[in-house]
Amino acid sequence: MTRTATRTLLAVLVAAWWLLVPAVHGARADDPVVLSREGQITDRVDALGDRRASVAQALDRLYDAHRVQLFVVYVRDFSGRTGQEWADATAERNGLGADDLLLAVATHDRRYGYSAAPDGPLSQTRLDEVARTAI
């Protein structure tokens, strides 16, 4: 992946993370979910509110520029799993492919996890770098 692609991915991840709102009360624990059929955003706790459209546009730009499809999921918590375990289970449940990435955010616990195919466009080293610097 090029430096420009990495910057675009960083920008999308930063936007998704910083759009987090404080914990939503009354929500229940979430097992790995079925992703929304309405796009790349699954927001089970209304974390994005009226900012959903701007995140969707950023995700579209990432895909148009680099053919990487990033799915973003907001839930209350990860049901006792690590963010990585929850994201991997959700990606597997939804059959995400090699060019798909998943960023999962647990708003109550203020934790995240991401999932990417080992043969995807980003190496594990690059994913770790993006997570360390952007999330």
| Span 101-119, pLDDT tens digits | 999 999 999 999 999 998 8
Q: What are the pLDDT digits (tens) for 4-33?
A: 666 666 566 656 655 544 434 444 567 899
Name the 3-class secondary structure at 113.
strand
- Average pLDDT for 39-47: 96
Q: Are 42 and 71 in contact (CB under 8 A)?
A: yes
Nearest-5° angle of CA 112, CA 15, CA 66?
95
Cα dist. 96→34, 40, 67, 93, 116 in Å? 11, 12, 14, 8, 9
pLDDT for position 129: 87
* H/E element, 132: helix 124-134
Domains and CATH numbers, the chain: 3-134 (3.10.310.50)
Q: Are 88 and 115 in contact (CB under 8 A)?
A: yes
Give the predicted TM-score (pTM) of the model. Answer: 0.78
Q: Residue 129's Cα: distance from chain center in Å?
A: 16
Kindly give the pairing relationship between strand 100-106 and strand 41-43. Answer: unpaired
Q: How does DSSP classify residue 98?
A: T
pLDDT for position 24: 41
Q: What is the rounded distance in angstroms from the CA atom of residue 118 to the CA atom of residue 24?
A: 33
Q: Are 93 and 44 in contact (CB under 8 A)?
A: no
